[in-house]
Chains A and B, each alone.
Chain A
């Protein structure tokens, strides 16, 4: 444990009424970098997904290669949100991705949710079964978790591979809104299919 403590590097962020601890490291299962926020009652972890993983995943679920390419090069993270309040002071937690903000190069924008993507795939004529797989693979736009609940899903940040950005997240618990920022999240770089160069 102390080894882990020593190699882990942390810092604190004042985040409205609660103090959140942000950390980063390598996810034990994915073997890829993660960014995590822990606050009394919740944890949120974003784990990089390689563009090649995402290409393969969506092509296996009926997406044409050009459509899978759009997703793969849009900065995808596996997202795990947990209501951990059952360990201390049980209370439900809710969030809405529409309230989260991506901060990159001085610009702010909202996340692209499953509802935002649906008309894109309809316009491109993506197969219904593939659209269902896409919808359910994405992190839910709104959610209420009771104590002990958690969920996984992909978040798509609509940024180029390798981009570094901050993410301002918010959630509601214990009758209050909580806000925290995870700084310097990095989209996984891509490997150019022709040259093998990192992008």
Chain B
């Protein structure tokens, strides 16, 4: 077991170990970096029990109304986000690229902004141009209905209106295996297949 003490600004920890301990510590460090570098392809985690997506009706850009039931029969990627949330911002460009691939193929992207007004969102889209709908959940009532606890959270809703997948944290939405997974879901007739 290595012993440690801390010193200096910010409480930098300094290793006090020798011989085998030094080897062990460096081995663990190397392992940490090696594992980090070997990031496998991203997937969409399946929810154990698919359940009906709660209905909502929200206004978006220019006062346009978005009702979830209007998209029944299509796969819906329902994302909850906010402009101040770094991983939300990070995934927006890949979501836009995915949208360009998917929009005429029976997959819809709805990115619901939580608690911010149209001006804030408009300012944001100046920096991160997106062309998919951005409904506004001004009083955070829809995000509560969906029992979201942190942003970003994304649900995948199948053509039958059931939530089948959920992700927390950003994803590269235009990654080939995610696109394939979303396109394959169009074929689902009942729940998860």
Contact = CB atoms under 8 A, between A and B. Distances in A.
Contact of B13 (A23, A29, A137, A140): A23
Interface residues of A, number: 51
Contact of A24 (B13, B42, B82): B13
Contacts of B127: none
A185 B11 contact: yes
A37 to B, nearest CB: 12
A4 B30 CA distance: 11
Interface string B141-154: 00100000111000
Given A82-B169, A146-B166, A186-B11, A137 B84 contact: yes
Size range of the chain B interface in the assembly: 35 or more
B169 A128 contact: no
Interface string A81-93: 0101011100000
Interface in B6-23: 6, 9-15
Interface of B: 1-4, 6, 9-15, 25-26, 28-30, 32-33, 35-36, 38-40, 42-43, 45, 82, 84-87, 114-117, 138-140, 143, 149-151, 166-169
Given A25-B12, A152-B86, A186-B9, 6 more contacts: A87-B36, A140-B149, A140-B150, A146-B166, A149-B169, A184-B13
Interface of A: 1, 4-5, 8-12, 14, 21-25, 29, 33, 35, 38, 57, 61, 82, 84, 86-88, 128-129, 132-133, 135-137, 139-143, 145-153, 164, 183-186
